[in-house]
Amino acid sequence: MSVAIALLGAVWPYLAAVGAALLAVLTAYGKGRSDQKSRTETKDLRDANDIRKQGADARADAAVDPGRLRDDDGWKRH
């Protein structure tokens, strides 16, 4: 038992350094992933708002002649 404690005592600083380095790498990786997710969600929201605005602008600019609404437009409707 004392041999195991002696070996662990000699290796312990290296194990702690490896653990700290692993923790730092995983923390940086997780931060990068969450930042990218946030940027992606913001971009998706901005794109969706742009699409809605373009649709609203297109509907607002569409001049509809009420007299033409019943004209034959070539589509068969049952």
Walk along the chain (78 residues) and give the pLDDT tens digit of each residue: 678 788 788 888 899 999 999 999 999 999 999 999 999 999 999 999 999 999 888 877 766 666 666 666 667 666
What is the Cα Rg of the chain in Å?
32
Alpha-helical segments (H) within 1-78: 2-61
Q: What is the pTM of this model?
A: 0.51
Give the CB-side neighbour count of residue 3, counting CA atoms within 13 A: 0
